[in-house]
Structure 1
């Protein structure tokens, strides 16, 4: 039976903002992993159902359509934006929240709830609750950046496989800070395209995102843990991916030591961090998305 997912779209970075976030979207679940096209280098899939997205005014209409057409569907929780009424006089309250510019020692643009993901989830913080699939592929700009990153991953993995002494055996892959498992699913497609068997694992400190990643039948196991100290045995993985995670950790040394401890000799560690010094990042931080430069 064809599976489908019903969800409310997230806001975009364009001027329309939340204008198209009130309706509901029915999208068919992918039946095969995306892969890198060997000729053009595009990220694509043979599953044409991934191009289908139907919009509905209400959740009941989307559910009724799914039942009528015999779709096996699941409904993603809708996390409504919480509006906190404020007055101009609140700017002068002695107990007001003060903001400061980020520095390298405290670079996470989240609130203090960063230390308590369960509290952030209960509060509806979109950083913890929004679908990473919708965010990463929901707009042309985000899709372009995400697919460019996947092409780079494919190049790195392919280069490592040609030099690796581990030939023919099953590889163990860990996505450290896997979130919803988007990159983990892509890594599975890369190894499958190279003709190598791979067991996929993920770890994250966000239980909501980890549950989403664990639903992927291609994922063999997930771990709810902090990167500073994991329950994973030493030298457990041939390849470890840690993509856009390190910059959100205040003390990076324990996390990097832990990544090295879990990696097998001759394995590959891929660490991705944003280039905050490039022109596009400066434009984003100082013009397009100035809120990212603030933290509590």
Structure 2
């Protein structure tokens, strides 16, 4: 900055006013400073600016290192929403969400001088770790369910419970009375919320609840479960907690000669970009990740502004395709 001031023949304070777009600088002086900046290729030191203004323009994000569709889509959407209002995101990926790992990531962001933190890790351990950390900035948890905001913690999410009820209701209305649920991990808020939605809808319809089968979000697990179900005598319908699990089921049922949906209907959750191209195309529950990203940023900016507002979760949409309709895929030759 001193070089810019010397070349333009002004004080450091004047250069600072130009950089911060103060209207107290005369147009001819502003032009002279801007010309000096261009000649010298000056780039302002954002770290130094943050020390003075207490604004870094950075949002820290903690998320899983696994390439799961939900967290990855949420991260991309959140990054776009942050840029729209002049922020950038700094990301820390971790494999475990115990207190030690979470606190280390949060302390890293405190050292960076971030203005807020978003946690895209809907696990019990992550939530517990955040609640025991004395953050100096607002923190937003992306998870199922919405709780009242506290001084430094906000929650945003998607209607996982209602989405699961919607998927189950669709199968019930199609005439199914034996609907198995292949769950996500039950230490995950989303996995539990989808299990609870399936349970509630089946109970409301007076159906006998088969034992849920615990999954892990992967097509490999869906495939293994599908093979077991085919050997044991498949139910008439399976609600899978995500589309990857459903993909594994479809492969296993096809190998066993079961026609989907004529012999067994399959419904997933997420509406990943390839779900329309599964064989058959997958009926699923769509999550609006772009809206979720915007909501997380809104929760953060509300917290920075001192606004305590309970933000409603993002609704889901049922996308009906051939895996739950009477358009059976031919048996394997």
- TM-score class, shorter: 0.3 to 0.5
Select the structure that is richer in strand.
1
Larger Rg: 2
TM-score by length of 2: 0.34
Select the structure that is richer in helix.
2
